[in-house]
Structure 1
Amino acid sequence: MKYKHIAVEGNIGAGKTTLTKFLSSILDASTLLEEFEENKFLKAFYNTGEFAFQSEIQFLLDRSKQLNEFYKKNHSLIISDYYVNKSLIFSKINLNEYEFQLLKNLHGHLFGVLPPPDLLIFLDRSLDVLFANIMRRNRPYEKNMDLNYLKKLDHYYENWLEGLDIPIIRIDAETIDFNRPDYLTKKFKQLLNLDFPSTQRTVKLAIS
């Protein structure tokens, strides 16, 4: 495997954790999952709209601790269901300008020395499907999720992707059928052997 760290990204409800677990199982990789359930401020933010700054700070601290512990160990391959730079997307939307600049500085201090992922897999889904997935998983603190919020995140994710300087595979997540594990295993192993031309950093495709 030519990669040491593969990050799976996408909007809320895109299926990041499900794909991360699948890839980790077929590639015998170490799994790094976001511990959002531990962030008590997140639930308060979703329920009341307050504590956005505290929530983002907590995410930064949790991710910093988690990544530093992982990088201290000799993992041959890490697959994570997030890329730490996503903090700047959510912070830009949820915080005022003063809070955002403070968080951005802290982000640079905590993660500036850590290498970026070798590959980013980005899952594309329609807003309607994202919203349906969120409602289906029925997390109490997400019950007030707003479709406009997902739309805003979608827009910021697009801008964020354009600024990344790492290989990106964008996948239509609706074409991923986990009921066909053997086929998926074959397809993903082929994908992960792709060579990226120096002039092309992003590949868009469907799995089926």
Structure 2
Amino acid sequence: MPVFTSLSGEKTMQSKLLIVEGNIGAGKSTVCASLSNTLGFRIFEEPVKSNPYLEDFYKDPHRIAPIMQRWLFEQRLATYKEAVQHIEETGQGVILDRSVFSDWAFAYQSLVDGFFTEQQYEEYQTMREVALRGLPLPTMCIYLDVSPEQCLYRITQLRKRECEAGMPIEYLRGLDASHAMLLDDLEKVGIEVLRVDWESFGDIEPIEKSVQRTPLNTRLWGVDRGRVPRTTLFV
């Protein structure tokens, strides 16, 4: 897959691919909107609103988790490829509200919680390795660091989605831990990770400046930096 270029075939510093990651309720959508407004980048949203399994997952996670996680992975992979294609065709930078790379954090947590069998998790890992190999790496991963307790407050008191009303704090704590492991892996394969304290929200300007200073990333997943860490090491 070619590196990011403008229509003229010339690289541009605006042709950046940003992924905004964080726990459920961290505030990713708000940050994406602010960055899009100031940087002029296009947003590619997470496929949450169209997720046909989400409500059933919270009711019966043991049955729904494997089905939903595969669907989410496929949706996030397609969105990522669409974002890459957009950069190649227009030269415009893009921002992804969660990405295919962080999908692993949820799959791993499903294993920890017993929603995945070891075989189902291994099948997910194999699917992930095959699908991601050769994908262009993002320019930067912006991680919004918010405590599980604050995330739960925002979920229950601010956005108030009915299907999330009974979300246990233990689930958010598990996702917080799995995201920490994920970020280490992303750095190992050559992705710039910006950890941002977003406990009380914050100023978007320092994030913008970090994005502007960061050069384009022309590496490919699993190709340019040797073997990709296999997350079964965390089991």
TM range (shorter): 0.7 to 0.9
The change in CA–CA distance for 1:144 and 1:185 in structure 2 (over 3 A counts) is closer
Distance 1:127 1:170 in 2: 16
Aligned to 2:34: 22
Q: 1:3 offset after TM fit, Å? A: 5.7
Superposition map of 1:123-162 within 5 A: 123-136=144-157, 137-162=159-184
Over 3 Å counting, the alpha-carbon distance change for 1:77 and 1:56 in structure 2 is: same
Alignment correspondent of 2:73: 60
Counterpart position of 1:180: none
The question of whether the paired residues in 2 share the 8 Å contact of 1:123 and 1:171 is answered with yes
Separation of aligned partners in 1, 2:106 and 2:199: 24
From 186, 197, 200, give the equivalent of 1:172.
Answer: 197
**Which AA in structure 1 matches 2:194?**
I
Aligned match of 2:138: 117
For 2:118 and 2:139, locate their aligned partners in 1 and report how far apart those are by CA, in whole Å. Answer: 31
Ranges in structure 2 where 5+ consecutive residues have no aligned partner: 1-12, 111-115, 216-235
- 1:188 and 1:92 map into 2 onto residues whose CA distance is 28
Residues 175, 132 of structure 1: alpha-carbon distance in 2 compared, 3 angstrom cutoff: closer
CA contact (8 A) 2:80 2:100 kept: no
Q: Normalised by the size of structure 1, how large is the TM-score?
A: 0.83
Which amino acid is 1:41 matched to?
Y
> 1:3 and 1:176 mapped to 2: Cα distance?
27
Q: How does 1:43-122 map to 2 (within 5 A)?
A: 43-49=55-61, 50-73=63-86, 74=89, 75-94=91-110, 95-122=116-143
Offset from partner CA, 1:127-175 (integer Å, 9 cap, x none): 2211001112111111110001111111111111112231111111135
CA deviation after TM superposition for structure 1 residue 46, in Å: 1.1
Letter matched to residue 155 of structure 1: A
Q: Deviations over 1:70-119 (max 9, x none)?
A: 32232421111112121211111212211111112222233323212110
Aligned partners of 1:88, 1:190: CA distance in 2, in Å? 29
| Structure 2 CA distance for aligned equivalents of residues 138 and 2 of structure 1 | 36
RMSD: 1.9
Gaps of 5+ in 1: 178-183, 197-208
The separation in 1 between residues aligned to 2:178 and 2:206, in whole angstroms, is: 29
Provide the identity percentage: 26
